[in-house]
């Protein structure tokens, strides 16, 4: 159903800078902590994650990024491409994750897949949260989930861990159906998106 859109976006990204189409880094944690590559259209410069961590050119941006719980608005982040701004404002960059669903790495609804680095850094600050992280990772991650429909980027990582831990202990078909049908509303209203 989405293949014509995916093909069109694929071409647009390629035409903008002739570079890779999908995000390479960072690797995500899936079911039982198994690392996997989550497919997502590239909306930033190539290797944007490594660039902000290691390139002195982005020192001020990195400081701001860390202060804001590693979430910057579209207008704040100079790494975002022209096409990337459109993709992010429409959430079209997330559509390739249906490939992860077909591969069995993700489900439609579940906890948002976390980065290895963000989990490691979180556990350095809050080692007692290890049990919560373990419970979250015992559930297959989803394209959408409780975090996305509850406030998304307005929720700092520590609170996201608590929220997704609660979900991982009580998810059921009724809750997942509610999240599924709330998702289009959240996308259209841009609730919790920093623009």
Length of the chain: 195
Judge whether 62 lies within some domain.
yes
Judge whether 194 lies within some domain.
no
Judge whether 156 lies within some domain.
yes
Judge whether 92 lies within some domain.
yes
The Cα–Cα gap between 62 and 107 comes to: 32
Judge whether 8 lies within some domain.
yes
Q: Which region, left, alpha or beta, applies to residue 194 given φ > 0 means left and ψ of -120 to 50 means alpha?
A: beta
State both tokens at 23.
């995000």
Residue 69, pLDDT score: 82
Q: What is the pLDDT of residues 68-81, one digit of tens each?
A: 888 888 888 999 99
Looking at the structure of the chain, the number of domains it has is 1
Judge whether 195 lies within some domain.
no
Could you list the beta-strand ranges (E) of 57-112. Answer: 107-109
Instruction: Please list the ranges in the chain whose pLDDT falls under 70.
Output: 191-195
Domain of 141, in residue numbers = 3-189
């Amino acid at each position: 159903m989405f293949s014509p859109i995916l093909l069109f976006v694929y071409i647009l990204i390629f035409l903008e800078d002739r570079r890779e189409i999908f995000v390479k880094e960072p690797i995500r944690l899936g079911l039982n902590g198994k690392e996997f590559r989550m497919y997502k259209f590239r909306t930033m410069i190539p290797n944007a994650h490594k660039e902000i961590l290691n390139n002195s050119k982005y020192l001020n941006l990195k400081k701001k990024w860390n202060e804001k719980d590693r979430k910057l608005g579209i207008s704040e982040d100079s790494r975002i491409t022209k096409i990337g701004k459109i993709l992010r404002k429409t959430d079209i960059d997330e559509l390739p994750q249906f490939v992860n669903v077909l591969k069995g790495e993700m489900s439609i609804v579940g906890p948002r897949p976390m980065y290895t680095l963000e989990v490691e850094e979180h556990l350095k600050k809050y080692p007692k949260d290890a049990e919560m992280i373990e419970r979250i990772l015992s559930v297959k991650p989803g394209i959408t989930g409780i975090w996305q429909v509850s406030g998304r980027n307005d929720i700092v990582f520590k609170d996201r861990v608590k929220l997704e831990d609660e979900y991982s202990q009580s998810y059921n078909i009724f809750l997942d159906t509610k999240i599924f049908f709330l998702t289009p509303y959240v996308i259209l209203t841009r609730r919790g998106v920093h623009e």
